[in-house]
Amino acid sequence: MSIVRRKKIFGTHRAPRFLRVFRRNAEASHSQGNRVKLYDSGGEFFPAMLEAFAEARHHIHAEFYLIRDDATGAAFAEALLAASARGVDVSLIYDYIGCFDTPSAYFRRLERGGVRCLAFNPPPFRRGLAWFDKRDHRKVAVIDGETAFTGGVNIGDEYSGFGVSAERWRDLGVRIDGPAVTVLSHLFREFWLEEKGSPSLAWFMEHAPLAAMGDAEVMIVSDGPHHARSFIHNAFRIAMAGAGESIRIMNPYFVPGPRVIRSLLRAVRRGVRVQLILPAKSDVPIVRLVSRGYYTPLLRAGVEIYERQGSVLHAKVMLIDDTWGVVGSANLDQRSFHRNYEVNTIVVSREFGSQVAEMFTDDLGGSRRVVLAEHERRGWGVRFMERLCNSVSWFL
């Protein structure tokens, strides 16, 4: 198939054929009439989410991988307790391993205040030792079934700033108003029941279908280790295959495996401009070593790789043709593809795409481009460590 014809078929992610292929292979829900707002830092995301908590009338569903007992965690707890005190039904799911350092007194206080808390996979790891490696990596808050906040932001001080200091990481999230929120609400409730949580009577109250709030098409892709294949992985690859002009990716843990690499290389051969922003400094140094082992074939093919300087990069976003934006909890690594519960939001909107494109351009300004000649001059010791670490990339 020629490049021109491929662009004609796949160049727009609104094409019915493409959407059918995507929804079938990624098990993606689809809704129209949504309003989506990008918060390009945790410093904007947290105040907006806590303000929405303060306005909740019926219920709050919150699900976060990591919740710290620090200033941000305290503000989060106070907002949930205040909502519960005024009669709002509040339910919280947290990952036991992710919150291993969080004192149990933190969650006991929430429960005494009426917040129903459910730990994912606590000891004795009732599904066997292998289940110890599974994580609930989602970050979602749903308010009254009408408004949702999601992205890559955990509850902790390092996620709550503007990404300009070592103590405040670079992260982002979105607010969704409209029909897509119903999908996230159902996802939370199904997971709660699967984990043996008791349902709330408030969940069974009848609510009118959500009216259209904007013009954004939204698809929700969720995944977990119980699936025979990774829908998150499929979603990334199909979106890349549909690119006609550009692919822009910002991700903190780039251990994608050969199939994603081939998808990027094919895109370049079609004439698509591919840009990656990856961290210059990682909170998991071994991941950076493995990531750099993927650089050479990508650079040789013409992929532009940039390493963001300064604070730790934790943002997870992909933008296709400035129209198809992907924001969520999933990293481009094997853990997110196969061993975590994850959720990504795909937004098909020129307006939202322009917001993401502007943010990406700003981050490029604080990034250093990786040059092939310089990369290939790295010493034998670094190459040895890359190869050694690559042997355990499945577990990262």
Q: Rounded to whole angstroms, how far apart are CA atoms 98 and 221?
A: 22
Q: Would you call 170 helix, strand, or coil by DSSP?
A: strand
Active site residue 30: no
User: Which CATH number covers residue 222?
Assistant: 3.30.870.10
**Annotated active-site residue in 7, 61, 134, 139:** 139
**Distance of alpha carbon 56 from alpha carbon 176, whole angstroms:** 15
Tell me the β-bridge partners of 141.
62, 149
In a domain, 259, yes or no: yes
Residues of the chain with pLDDT under 70: 1-15, 126, 204-208, 381-396
**Does some domain include residue 385?**
yes
For residue 56, being part of any structural domain is answered with yes
- Bond into 16 cis (ω within 30): no
Catalytic residue among 69, 171, 321, 333: 321
196 noted as active-site residue = no
- The Cα–Cα gap between 122 and 24 comes to 34
Indicate if 59 belongs to the active site.
Answer: no
Tokens 């710290």 -> residue? 68
- Orientation angle between helical segments 3-10 and 16-26, nearest 10 degrees: 80
- Tell me what pLDDT residue 391 has: 64
Q: Which candidate in 177, 314, 333, 363 is catalytic?
A: 314
* Amino acid symbol at 216: A
In sequence order, what DSSP letters do the residues of 25-91 get, joined into one string? HHT-EEEEEEEEEEE-SHHHHHHHHHHHHHT-SSEEEEEES-B-SSHHHHHHHHHHHHHHHTT-EEE
DSSP letter (8 states) at residue 119: E
Determine, yes or no, domain membership for 160.
Answer: yes
Check residue 2 and give its pLDDT: 40
Count of structural domains, the chain:
1
CA contacts within 13 A on the Cβ side of 24: 6
pTM of the model: 0.93
The phi, psi pair for 295, rounded to 5°, reads -65, -45
| Nearest alpha carbon to residue 396 among 283, 309, 311 | 283
- The pLDDT value recorded for residue 47 is 97
- Annotated catalytic residue within 316, 333, 338, 363: 316
Beta 216-223 vs 324-328: how paired, if at all? unpaired
Output the pLDDT for position 5.
Answer: 43
Q: Does 205 reside within a domain?
A: no
- Choose, from 137, 223, 333, 338, the residue flagged as catalytic: 137
- For residue 374, the number of C-alpha atoms closer than 13 Å in the C-beta half-sphere is 5
Active-site annotation holder among 70, 133, 144, 215: 144
Q: Is 233 a catalytic residue?
A: no
Whether 139 sits among the annotated catalytic residues: the reply is yes
Name the packing angle between helices 104-112 and 71-85 (round to 10°). Answer: 20
> Domain limits at 283?
3-198+211-395
> Does 148 map to a domain?
yes
Give the pLDDT of residue 1: 39
Distances (CA, A) of 42 to 35, 161, 286, 314: 20, 5, 25, 10
Q: Write the pLDDT tens digit of every residue in 354-386.
A: 999 999 999 999 999 999 999 888 877 666 666
Q: Determine, yes or no, domain membership for 203.
A: no
**Domain presence at residue 46:** yes
Active site residue 137: yes
Name the phi and psi angles at 343, rounded to 5.
-150, 130
H helix or E strand, kind and range, residue 8: helix 3-10
- Among residues 46, 103, 48, 111, the alpha carbon closest in space to that of 84 is found at 111
Query: Which pLDDT tens digit goes with each residue over 131-145?
Result: 778 999 999 999 999
